[in-house]
Structure 1
Amino acid sequence: MRIWHTSDWHVGRTFHGHATLEPLEGVLREMAETVRALEVDVVVVAGDVYDSSTPSADAIGVFNRSLRRLREAGPQVVLTAGNHDSPTRLGSMSDFVSASGVHVITRPEQVTVPVTLHDDHGPVHVYGIPFLEPARLRHVWEADPMRTQAHAVDEAMRLVRADLAERGGRSVVLAHTFVAGAEGESCESERAIVDSPTVGGVDRVPVTGFDGVTYAALGHIHGRSVLAEHVRYSGAPLHLSFSEEAKPRGGWLVDLDADGLADVTWVDLGVPRPLVTLTGTLQELLEAPEHGAHTAAWVRARLTDPLRQRDAMRRLQSRFPHCAQLDYVALAAPVGGDRAYRELVHGKSDLEVVDTFLGRVRGTGLDTDEREIVDDVLAHSGAELP
């Protein structure tokens, strides 16, 4: 059996205020063409289908068309809810779309009801573990304790293994959670997955929690990651933040044989608009010939000018129309540090007050030319500064 592992579509997401529906639909269209060419049997989507629990009509349209293209390409589709999704809204379609080969798993009660598919070697049971909120599970499962994501996923996997022991055969688990070892692949675009009490502030599920299954298709981390041969994140199909610019986009092609996991291969998908971070002074970014190759990219500009530049974003966008983020990385520290401004100017002359003020707001005081101008203004004003 051949499986395509994807996750974190985040349909409806914006990128620094820019809509992403059109480029995402293009990538998902390419995904459908790819799974058709590779003769994929089942596509698994491990959560965060939408970016919001209340998706717009346009987002729903993109999602529905993308599902239809995947089914027309041949494979069955199994998807679960992530922490961005509304289990109720996403799950409302499950009863009737399953007849068309799209299987939606959004409730913890469905954990032990796999989608069972068959190939020449027998059954493959596809289990879905949607995003689990421990506080809402205490009346569903009797496990104790039930305070963290780790506790919830551990109980879900215990139930999966018990069910699998009775059914027999190979198994695939979809889970939307944060697994220990994926920290290095975490991105700025991910929302904290839980608010429950955790050790060190981060609620991680151990990799060993997925022992006993043939393959674990994970979602939540937006960069691909291999935590064990059979435990992987696919990442999002579209770049969602500049922290992901070096991370490839695509999906895992998972092959199962009679003995279990036969092979896992990464397959790239196209990037509609590449991301690039450019560092230098404003003048360098505007004039350096080598930056001409990035005029069509999403650009994050990291300016090294010691002072803020006038109309910097507008000027950058005259060369880089898709410049979306501007950071200053070399601004001097405010003069006086954390000392109160009143303390800094106490007993100083008017010229010294101006010098201190500029040092406070821009990191450097008056230069020689500025000092002469201010000194001249003060000399002719005939007024004292308050």
Structure 2
Amino acid sequence: MRILHTSDWHLGRAFHGVGMLTHQAAWLDHLLEVVEQESVDLVVVAGDVYDRGLPPVDAVALANEALGRLAASRARVVVTSGNHDSARRLGFAAGLIDHAGVHLRTDAGDVGRPVLLEDAHGAVAVYGIPYLDPDLARRAWDLPTRSHHAALSAALQRVEADLATRPGTRSVLLAHAFVAGGAPSDSERDIAVGGISVVPTALFDRIDYTALGHLHGAQTLSESVRYSGSPLAYSFSEASHTKGSWLVELGATGCTAQFVAAPVPRPLARLNGSLETLLTDAALAVHEHSWVQATLTDTVRPLQAMDRLRARFPHALALSYSPADRPTAAVRGSSSGRSDHDLALEFLAAVRGTPADAAEAALLQRAVDSCCHDVEADTLTSVR
């Protein structure tokens, strides 16, 4: 059986204010091409179809189109909900949609109910474990502790109990969780409960292939436990990632996998240096069409830095400052005896590295004056 493992589509997400829906649609075109070209039998989506529980209508329309095209393809499809999804909304009409060959597994109560498939080697049971909120799982299953480990362990017990009734059946599992050994990026939402979010890889030892979602980098935790990662980069911390999906060959015993790289809509670049260096260094020409995150090391903060940066890098999206050799500015600990204007001037000099000029000082004075209490204004007393 040939399985295409994907996750973390995050339909509707923006990247530093840039809408990604067009790029997400292009990636879904790529996904359908892989299904046909590689004769994929099963597509699994391990959570976070949407970026938020109440997705925008254009994201819902794209998901509807994608699932419709997958239903019309040669592959069966199993989808679980992630921590960004609303399980209720994503799972709406799941019983009806089952008949189209698209199986939505968003209810924790269904974790022990597999989608049953057949190949040349016999039966394959596909189990979908949606993201399990530890509080909800503890109440529903009367668990002794409140943790991701306890919730996933309880779910795996139900999966293994069902498998025990199906001798000789191979298993595929979808789970949306932070599993030990995985490396996070900046774009995942923290799912820690009481400081504990990681579950051990050993939980999945008795499963033939585990398709994980949640972490956005493609990762191999073992030959049978993998993260596919997100299909597109959603933070600059993912600049070094290769995005795509796992093409898994499930044999009579064991599995093998190869990574299928996804198209890159625009590369990411993290640049560091003085503004003058970034604007003149010929070696940086390769990044002129990239999405750029720049960290300026100028001792004195340059004026209109982003506008000047975009003259060369029109897709610059993020700008920060980390002066290389500016001495630490002394800021007085007490404001006693000094005017608000003096404090504002001192703060500006500390942050920027140079004092305000006459025009800036006058502008700050007007700003301070506009915030002062107007003694002639009427006093209103609110009653609650």
Q: Same fold (TM over 0.5)?
A: yes
How far apart, CA to CA, are the structure 1 residues paired with 2:346 and 2:26?
Answer: 54
- Quick one: which amino acid aligns to residue 220 of structure 1? H
- Residue in 1 that maps onto 2:215: 221
Match of 1:252 among 246, 255, 261: 246
Instruction: Report the alpha carbon displacement of residue 333 of structure 1 after superposing the two structures with TM.
Output: 5.6
- Residue in 2 that maps onto 1:310: 303
- Residue in 2 that maps onto 1:19: 19
Unmatched segments (≥5 aa) in structure 1: 347-351, 375-386
Unmatched segments (≥5 aa) in structure 2: 362-384
Say if 1:334 and 1:361, in contact at 8 Å, map to a contact too: no
Instruction: Report the alpha carbon displacement of residue 360 of structure 1 after superposing the two structures with TM.
Output: 2.4
Aligned residues: 355
Match of 1:202 among 184, 196, 213: 196
1:137-148, aligned counterparts within 5 Å? 137-145=137-145, 147-148=146-147
Instruction: Report the alpha carbon displacement of residue 70 of structure 1 after superposing the two structures with TM.
Output: 2.6
Instruction: Report the alpha carbon displacement of residue 356 of structure 1 after superposing the two structures with TM.
Output: 5.9
- Quick one: which amino acid aligns to residue 164 of structure 1? L
Match of 2:186 among 185, 188, 191: 188
Q: 1:144 to 1:302 in 2, by over 3 A?
A: same
Instruction: Report the alpha carbon displacement of residue 341 of structure 1 after superposing the two structures with TM.
Output: 4.9
The alignment partner of 2:234 has SS state of coil
Normalised to the residue count of structure 1, the TM-score between the two structures is 0.86
Instruction: Report the alpha carbon displacement of residue 69 of structure 1 after superposing the two structures with TM.
Output: 2.7
- Residue in 1 that maps onto 2:107: 107
Q: Deviations over 1:260-280 (max 9, x none)?
A: x23111111111111111222
- Residue in 2 that maps onto 1:283: 276
Instruction: Report the alpha carbon displacement of residue 317 of structure 1 after superposing the two structures with TM.
Output: 1.4
Q: Deviations over 1:146-185 (max 9, x none)?
A: x011110011111111111111310011000111111xx2
C-alpha RMSD of the superposition = 2.3
How far apart, CA to CA, are the structure 2 residues paired with 1:49 and 1:249?
Answer: 16
How far apart, CA to CA, are the structure 1 residues paired with 2:99 and 2:113?
Answer: 16
How far apart, CA to CA, are the structure 2 residues paired with 1:333 and 1:66?
Answer: 55
The alignment partner of 2:277 has SS state of helix
Match of 1:361 among 329, 343, 351: 351
* 2:54 pairs with 1:54: yes
Say if 2:223 and 2:256, in contact at 8 Å, map to a contact too: no
Instruction: Report the alpha carbon displacement of residue 354 of structure 1 after superposing the two structures with TM.
Output: 10
Identical-pair percentage: 45
Q: Deviations over 1:79-105 (max 9, x none)?
A: 000000001100103121111110000
How far apart, CA to CA, are the structure 2 residues paired with 1:355 and 1:96?
Answer: 66
Instruction: Report the alpha carbon displacement of residue 18 of structure 1 after superposing the two structures with TM.
Output: 0.9
Q: Deviations over 1:310-343 (max 9, x none)?
A: 1111111122111100111226364126x51548
How far apart, CA to CA, are the structure 2 residues paired with 1:269 and 1:356?
Answer: 50
1:50-199, aligned counterparts within 5 Å? 50-145=50-145, 147-168=146-167, 169-182=169-182, 185-194=183-192, 196-197=193-194
How far apart, CA to CA, are the structure 2 residues paired with 1:59 and 1:353?
Answer: 48
Q: Which deviates the most, 105-114 or 295-304?
A: 295-304
The alignment partner of 1:222 has SS state of coil
- Residue in 1 that maps onto 2:45: 45
The alignment partner of 1:35 has SS state of helix
1:30-41, aligned counterparts within 5 Å? 30-41=30-41
How far apart, CA to CA, are the structure 1 residues paired with 2:343 and 2:51?
Answer: 50
